[in-house]
Chain A
């Protein structure tokens, strides 16, 4: 027999104070509250537990929960700061903050380096780049001869691996992206500037008395 439960507010295990989150990020309090509306919708799409699991994350990106994708997995793992297999609200906001148009470029470069350093060795290695390239080709159902893949890798390392040790370190990456700024486009989400207009319902659910903007 179940226990009686009065109507309590649904629990969000990592729901940190919006005022504190705003103070740690480029978001205003209103924007953090608008992000909470987005978070609620994603975190309840499969299991309504107030946390985002990998399936929910992929569903939000692809509108298809069965789609496996190396890159979406990789982003999920970086958002899952506490390594619990789920993203709580605090980590969601702090991770998205890196993608804010006003976030420091250094943070964006750092995040992108971690994204591609899949094994966490502190280097982007040739076999990692090859793995990502092959994943991309299979995702887009594009066929390239092995020889062409190797040519692309050769060209990439010729440009990025300045000390020619076969791997790309952080400073080589900083140098490489500064010469190829288009690579950092994925690290900025213009949507984050207008988040309060995208999720206006935050106003009705606000927990903060005076909404600071």
Chain B
């Protein structure tokens, strides 16, 4: 449940922060 997480835990799940996508062809 989101309320039990801190904001940065939620934010770090953003797809925009996932640079791994750069390596997927």
Q: Is the interface of A mostly helix, strand, loop or mixed?
A: helix
Number of A-B contacts (CB under 8 A): 94
Given contacts A62-B15, A99-B19, contact A182 B6 (CB under 8 A): no
**In the complex, which of the residues B2, B5, B6, B16 contacts A61, with contact meaning CB atoms closer than 8 Å?**
B16
In the complex, which residues 46-97 of chain A have their Cβ closer than 8 Å to any Cβ of chain B?
A: 60-63, 69-75, 96
**In the complex, which of the residues B10, B14, B15 contacts A152, with contact meaning CB atoms closer than 8 Å?**
B10
Whether the pair A136, B23 counts as a contact (CB closer than 8 A) is no
B13 CB contacts on chain A under 8 angstroms: 136
Q: How far is B6's CA from A142's CA once the two chains are assembled, in angstroms?
A: 16
The size bracket of the interface on A is 35 or more
Whether the pair A132, B16 counts as a contact (CB closer than 8 A) is no
Whether the pair B6, A159 counts as a contact (CB closer than 8 A) is yes
Whether the pair A183, B8 counts as a contact (CB closer than 8 A) is yes
**In the complex, which of the residues B6, B18, B19, B23 contacts A156, with contact meaning CB atoms closer than 8 Å?**
B6
Given contacts A61-B21, A99-B19, A189-B20, contact A132 B12 (CB under 8 A): no
Whether the pair B6, A60 counts as a contact (CB closer than 8 A) is no
> Closest CB of chain B to A158's CB: distance in Å?
9
Residue of B5, B12, B13, B18 contacting most chain A CB atoms (<10 Å): B12
Across the A-B interface, the 6 shortest Cβ-Cβ residue pairs: A71-B16, A69-B16, A72-B16, A156-B7, A191-B23, A156-B6
Residues of A within 8 A of B (CB): 38, 42, 60-63, 69-75, 96, 99, 115-116, 129, 132-133, 135-136, 139-140, 142, 144, 148, 151-153, 155-156, 159-160, 176, 180, 182-183, 185-186, 189, 191, 195, 198
